[in-house]
Amino acid sequence: METATERQDAKRAKTEHQAAEGAEPMAVDDAVQQKDAAPPEQQQQTGPSMRFLMTQYYKKLFPVQQMFKWLCYGNDSSHAAADGSFSSRRELCFTLEGDIFVRYQSYKSWTDLATDLARKVPSKIDIGPVYTHDPRQRAKYAKDFKPVQRELVIDIDMTDYDELRTCGSGGHICSRCWPFIAVAIQVLDTALREDFGFQHILWVYSGRRGVHCWVADEGARLLADDVRASVVGYLSVIRGVEGGMAKLGMGMVKHPALERAERLLRSAWRQHLLPEQCLLDEPQHYNALLQYIPDEELRSSLAAKWAKGGQGIVPGGNRRASAAAAAAGDSVSLSVRRWDELEKAVKEQASRLPSGKAAKALEKSLDDIIFAYSYPRLDVEVTKKMNHLLKAPFCVHPKTGKVCVPIDPEAAWDFDPDDVPTVQQLVQEINEQQQDAGASPQQQQAAGAEGWRGTSLEPYIAAFASSFLSPLAASSKAALNERAQAAAAEQRTQRADVSW
């Protein structure tokens, strides 16, 4: 049972969080209270209460050992260079029932964390930075208490595409608008690896309408705030939206990184975004896109021609079926055919212009459209600050019940947010397993630590361990070895100086 001291600490933590963030309650990423309702089937869980489901999830399914191992970076080992205080200086923030934030939690071992999760049953866990001292004792250190490292994080939210997508808005996400996210993962993952040399990158579905990226390389974790701001500035092209048009931060000559991105974007634009979103099918959508064409006469001519040509998919059929057929090469969607027509008309008009500068500007408008509609739209504030909280992987989203599972960036196009396991589904799966096996209560308790085995969650945890955690552990061990060797060399030097 929660003590009076714990209740007071929770209340104080909530106030401290709001003051620190300068926001209303729940102003932590991906947990802002939403005005838009979830779909009817997601508004509430049927059957057992959400608290009961979450209690079972934390006791039997949440991969607490793997998560703790990640966040320790080898410092939970007996290695001579391991920092025994590392894990106890990492902040975790719990959101409890009633939207109560309990900030500045820290743990010395995964068993301590597992015990607290089962006792407090948070609806959400946010990960913060590693501080100079144990965050639970922050008052003792005053000005000396500050963040010293934290993963470089990136947040992409589907609501930033609301003025573009035709399938929904707000909390809605589906396979038709997922291509916006898939191409964003492709572009950013490539840039992080090729331009910055980062290797340990984890992409995670947020559980509702977006994705988070965690860059765990030591060089990324130690970046100062101003450098983080520079990194996200480098990765950002869209500087805002004005008058229904994206403000693009690129000139007539593209940076090599943008040329590389353009190749990815063009492929996604024609194969996925145009046929899935039907961006040139209806007047309200193609008129918005045509705003990027600087030639008014050309804009008017195309809009008039398309208005006479009717709406919908050609050849017949619904949008979804036609998009699938276009992807299979069986037919071409109306939007793709109209894009081909637009490209041809722009190039022909550019060839007739007397000014080379005007011709280049007209042709560049085609690139502007592709970048405006398909280049990643980032929540830059999430990346800028080392002490920004972000929802932990393998949390359960409180609105949808979906688990925040990892995404393979190389298979981002195959990911379907509708196929993500829910907490209700997972608890049902482990109950059925135990019934089929006829396990005793003692056996059930013994198997509880890794109850996720054999469930729909297992492939995601296995991928997390093999593709992210294992390579990261090897890198962390190598870094600890280097520190141990450097410390030994320093000691030898000091002994030699004393002898001399």
- Both tokens of 46, joined, read 């049927």
Asked if 56 and 427 count as a contact pair (C-beta separation under 8 A), the reply is yes
Within 10 angstroms of residue 436's Cβ, the number of other Cβ atoms is: 8
pLDDT at 330 over 60: no
Instruction: Please give the pLDDT value at position 486.
Output: 84
332: left (phi over 0), alpha (psi -120 to 50) or beta: beta
pLDDT at 466 over 90: yes
Half-sphere exposure of 217 (CA within 13 A, CB side): 11
pLDDT for 234-290, tens place per residue?
Answer: 999 999 888 889 999 988 889 999 999 999 999 999 999 999 999 999 999 999 999
Q: How far apart are CA 171 and CA 274, in angstroms?
A: 22
The answer on pLDDT for 31 being more than 50 is no
Would you call 157 a catalytic residue per the annotation?
yes
Using an 8 Å Cβ cutoff, are 134 and 83 in contact? no
Question: Distance (Å, rounded) from C-alpha 197 to C-alpha 251?
Answer: 26
Band the pLDDT of 434: cuts 50, 70, 90: confident
* Matching residue, tokens 């800028």: 384
427, two tokens: 């608890």
Report pLDDT digits (tens) over 122-164: 999 999 999 999 999 999 998 899 999 999 999 999 999 999 9
Task: Note the pLDDT of residue 448.
Answer: 57
239-249 in b/e form (b: 16+ CB < 10 A) is eeeeeebbebe
Q: How far apart are CA 239 and CA 286, in angstroms?
A: 22
Percent of the chain with pLDDT over 70: 82
Res 421: pLDDT: 97
Judge whether residue 176 has pLDDT over 70. Answer: yes
Among 30, 76, 91, 160, the active-site one is: 91
Angstrom distances, CA of residue 77 to CA of 73, 127, 135, 136, 486: 9, 21, 22, 23, 19
Q: Where are the extended beta strands (E) located within 299-364?
A: none
Pairing of strands 390-391, 124-131: antiparallel
Closest CA to 232 of 254, 210, 207, 213: 213
What is the value of pTM for the model shown?
A: 0.85
In this structure, what are the phi and psi dihedrals at residue 40, rounded to the nearest 5 degrees? -50, -40
* DSSP per-residue codes, 91-113: EEEEEETTTEEEEEE--SSHHHH
Q: Where are the beta strands (DSSP E) in 377-461?
A: 390-391, 406-407
Q: Average the pLDDT over 10-21 and give the result.
A: 42
> Phi and psi for 285 in degrees, rounded to 5?
-90, -45
Residue with the larger pLDDT of the pair 350 and 31: 350
Map out the domains of the chain as residue ranges.
50-155+199-237+378-440+451-480, 240-311+332-374
Burial of 163-195, coded b for 16+ CB within 10 Å and e otherwise, reads ebbbbbeebbbeebbbbbbbbbbbbbbebbeee
Joined together, the tokens standing for residue 224 give: 């100062």
Give the span between the Cα atoms of 387 and 20, in whole angstroms: 10
pLDDT of res. 493? 74
The percent of residues above 90 in pLDDT, for the chain, comes to: 73
Residue 254: how many CB atoms within 10 A of its CB? 15
pLDDT at 498 over 90: no
Residue 314 has pLDDT above 90, yes or no: no
Helix (H), strand (E), coil (C) string for 257-304: HHHHHHHHHHHHHHHHHHHHHCCCCCHHHHHHHHCCCCCHHHHHHHHH
Task: Calculate the dihedral angle through the C-alpha atoms of 371, 411, 465, 147, rounding to the nearest 10 degrees.
Answer: 10
389 token code pair = 């909280």
| pLDDT at residue 253 in the model | 83
pLDDT (0 to 100) of residue 15: 42
Q: Which CATH class, in words, describes the domain spanning 50-155+199-237+378-440+451-480?
A: alpha beta
Express each pLDDT in 77-89 by its tens digit.
Answer: 889 899 999 999 9
What's residue 48's pLDDT? 79
Q: Highest mean pLDDT range out of 22-31, 45-54, 236-245?
A: 236-245
Per-residue pLDDT tens for 291-303?
A: 999 999 999 999 9
DSSP codes, 118-142: HHH--SEEEEEEEESS-GGGHHHHG
pLDDT for position 258: 96
Q: Under 8 Å CB-to-CB from 445, ≥6 apart: which residues? A: none
Whether the predicted pLDDT of 165 surpasses 70:
yes
Among the ranges given (179-188, 231-240, 284-293, 447-456), the one the predictor scored with the smallest mean pLDDT: 447-456
Burial class from Cβ neighbours inside 10 Å (0-12, 13-18, 19+) for residue 280 reads: buried
* Candidates 29, 134, 155, 429; catalytic one: 155
For residues 357-364, average pLDDT: 94
**One of 157, 295, 367, 379 is an active-site residue; which one?**
157
Cα(483)–Cα(364) distance, rounded to whole angstroms?
A: 51
Please provide the average confidence, as pLDDT, over all residues in the chain.
Answer: 86
Task: Find the DSSP H helices in 143-255.
Answer: 178-194, 218-221, 225-235
| Residue 274 backbone dihedrals phi, psi, to 5 degrees | -65, -50
Confidence check: pLDDT of 496 > 80: no
The reply to whether 91 belongs to the active site is: yes
For the stretch 456-473, what's the b/e string if a residue is b when 16 or more beta carbons lie within 10 angstroms of its beta carbon? bbbebbebbbebbbeebb
Mean pLDDT, range 220-225, rounded to an integer: 98
Q: How confident is the model at residue 315 (pLDDT cuts 50, 70, 90)?
A: very low
Q: Is residue 436 flagged as an active site residue?
A: no
Residue 228 has pLDDT above 70, yes or no: yes
Looking at residue 36, its pLDDT comes to 38
Nearest to 258, CA basis, from 194, 336, 162, 163: 194
State the pLDDT confidence band at 309, using cuts at 50, 70 and 90.
confident
* Banded pLDDT at 488 (limits 50, 70, 90): confident
pLDDT score at 443: 54
